[in-house]
Amino acid sequence: MIKAIATDMDGTFLNSNNTYDKARFEAIYKQLVDQNIKFIVASGNQYAQLKSFFPEKDGTITYISENGAIIGQSGQLQSIASFPHEFIQEVLDDLIYRTNNNEFILCGAKSAYLLKAASSHFKNFAKKYYYKLAEVDTLNPLPDDTLVKIALDVGIEKAELIVDQLNKKYAHQLLAVSSGHGSIDITIPEINKGSTLAKLLNKWSIQPNELLAFGDANNDLEMIALTKHSYAMQNSTSNKVRQTAQHQAPSNDESGVLSVIESYLFE
């Protein structure tokens, strides 16, 4: 019996227009509430942005944001895992300023930050995913915030190479993962969607195989590895995701997540 559902957002729950079938979801969500099934949004994106997709449901949806670093519910941040400021400064100075790459976002619990020197294209990209976003002249010194992630946009052709370089140079200090479409998340080692979700399931006394999970990118791997009820989206371009998931869902543009949930609810 399914007691919890966890889904990624971009490329998974959301379609290519960055939305979803709201009327269909409302009918499904009513069934989830009636059957006491937990609904968890698990994303690399910002907590404030994730909440905006589900107005008036903040009390009953659990949000795992920033790839597991932040848990939010009922309008409150429940827990935060963070990097030491000194290490973040080292990474920014060494990897970003040294290469003159301004296309990155520093993610904090209060806000996300990007340089005013970033391109207008990247700024428009950032505004799509970060509702609390500040433009700053410099990130040395760092903002007064709890820092949880660095997000890079490097292009699809460079993403895997840069992920490997980061993980080799900063082994055990950070974990770089591809989040799809040429984006990279620099995250806290041992903190990911799967590890945070596992803690929540344990807290709720829910077994991993009572979880239904959906994903499309490599930052979903640990989450979909938790359960036999795991689905890779048909539109996923990650071989690792396809190999890890036990099943395949229709594409995000076919409301694949909703279709599979309906098959479990109404079987």
Residues 6+ apart with CB under 8 A from 119: 102, 103
Helix (H), strand (E), coil (C) string for 121-154: HHHHHHHHHCCCEEEECCCCCCCCCCEEEEEEEC
- Is there a catalytic annotation at residue 8? yes
Q: In sequence order, which residues have a C-beta less than 8 Å from that of residue 17 and are 6 or more positions away?
A: none
Is-contact 53 25, C-beta < 8 A? no
Q: Where are the strands (E) in 31-111, listed by range?
A: 38-42, 61-65, 70-73, 76-80, 104-108
As a whole number of angstroms, the distance between CA 109 and CA 179 comes to 20
Bridge partners, 248 (sequence order): 232
Phi, psi of 99 (to 5 degrees): -100, 5
Which amino acid is present at 202?
A: N
Contact by Cβ (8 Å): 243, 194: no
Catalytic residue chosen out of the listed positions 8, 185, 216, 220: 8
Q: Please identify every residue annotated as catalytic.
A: 8
